[in-house]
Amino acid sequence: MSHTPTSTGPGGNALAPNQSAAQDKKPSLAGVRVRQRKGQAKASAKFEPESFRDSFLLHLALLPSPLTTDALVAKLVQAGTTLEYLKYNEQFFELLFVGGLLQPGGAYLDDKRSPVYIVKTDDTSVTGDEGRGEDSWKDGVKGMVEVLKRVIQRYKYLQKPLEEDFLPNLLGYLGKWDLTARAKLAEATALLILELGASPKCLQSLAKDHVVKDGVALSFLSPFFKTYLSKQNVEHLGSTLRRSGLRDLLLVFPIQTRDRAHLEEYFKKEGLQPIIDWYAKLASLEAREQTINEVGRLINDEETNEQIIEFIKNQQVEKPAPEADLCEWIWQGLMKSIDWSARPDQLDQAVILHLTARAPILEAFCNGAKAQIGLINAIQVYCYTDTRIIKAFAQIVKVLYNADVISDQAIIYWHQKGAKPQGKQHFLKATEAMVKFLEEQESDEEE
């Protein structure tokens, strides 16, 4: 006869099989609704930008008249307690910048508009919704930027999507707006970078082909520069442009006008001479680095003097530089290619041999008196800075004189009144005998 196994309960009492199963079953509460966590509810909620827009406009419909910056800030901060600004940050900024929701590509989704927004503001008033008349708004774009700044200071999580997503996308749609609207967007962007500390990387969008086309990017950049320069100097602006990643201002010019002459012509017409001067200085620094590095590289690659001269001439066609600057850059390139590992007592001789062999490169470009005197000064400052060859200064000048790089008149003028202050007395004394000889030779020729 078989027996059904039994379980033993507390005290050794036997339990029936159905009793054991009942104990293993987990308890449940019939009719009790398990609440979803708040974060999970938000994540699974539908994305409804139009519903957000409608709720947002209901808040703005209660704005007082006349409208003030403080009132608008207070209303937006209050609305942020019930509306999901982070989830709908793109729609939030669209309503405050362009007044309505945008479709991909930049066109308006429908006709619903905010009562106040950046591209519609002016210095007198802003037209509200149909039937509301005009709300007085005397602060214009600056007032709207002040509003944005204060709201973002309250809701700090809005700054990152503004500078990383919204502004780059909006500047990609510039062709959708007329000149007046572009100017307002430009002013707002400049003020946000200056006053809110927004990243300038959005300016990279200006180099996109469809934005560059027909001068659209330029029509934004001019008012951007004017606004920026009304608050800061051109060096500060240059630093911002470097941080923006916009590598070269020429990239915002249409391809058929992408050259230095058109850049200068355009910004001169716009009354932006500081931009022309800044760009010329920047271009000069880039040309300087390129010349120094390339001359040094070509010499190390054992290219001939003729090949190096040809390279510099081609570079001058593309990026012309003053003769005096060019001669100094070539000198720096010649020094860059020297083997400085020689013994100290042999270094002077190594420099002299190197310059003797490569002097024809300088001779091809060092023609005018200004360039020659500038070259002597460049050598003077270099020898003063790098004292390893300070004693070779007079020999270097003599080598360049014998190679027809610098004239006797240039040496005499430098000695009499053209020398730089760095180590002046030392270098004048070192070349005193040479100058005396040249003066006597000049006097004999005159006689």
**What pLDDT, on a 0 to 100 scale, did the predictor assign at position 428?**
94
Domains belonging to the chain, first-starting first, are 286-446 (1.25.40.180)
Q: What are phi and psi of 42, to 5 degrees?
A: -65, -40
- Residue 189: pLDDT above 90? yes
Instruction: Give the pair of three-digit tokens for residue 362.
Output: 């300088």
**What pLDDT, on a 0 to 100 scale, did the predictor assign at position 122?**
60
Neighbours of 145 (CB within 10 A): 21
Q: Model confidence over 252-279: pLDDT tens digits?
A: 999 999 998 999 999 999 999 999 999 9
SS3 sequence of 226-285: HHHHCCCCHHHHHHHHHHHCCCCHHHHCCHHHCCHHHHHHHHHHCCCHHHHHHHHHHHHH
Q: Model confidence over 301-321: pLDDT tens digits?
A: 999 999 999 999 999 988 888
The H or E element spanning position 7 is strand 7-8
- Residue 11: pLDDT above 50? no
Predicted structure pTM score: 0.75
- Characterise 99 by phi-psi region: left (phi > 0), alpha (psi -120 to 50), beta (else): left
d(CA 181, CA 119): 5
Instruction: Give the pair of three-digit tokens for residue 411.
Output: 């040496």
**What pLDDT, on a 0 to 100 scale, did the predictor assign at position 295?**
95
d(CA 25, CA 27): 6
Q: What are phi and psi of 102, to 5 degrees?
A: -110, 145
**For residue 126, what is the DSSP state?**
E
**What pLDDT, on a 0 to 100 scale, did the predictor assign at position 416?**
93
Q: What are phi and psi of 268, to 5 degrees?
A: -65, -45
Tell me the mean pLDDT in the region 165-175: 95
CA 272 to mean position of chain CA atoms: 18
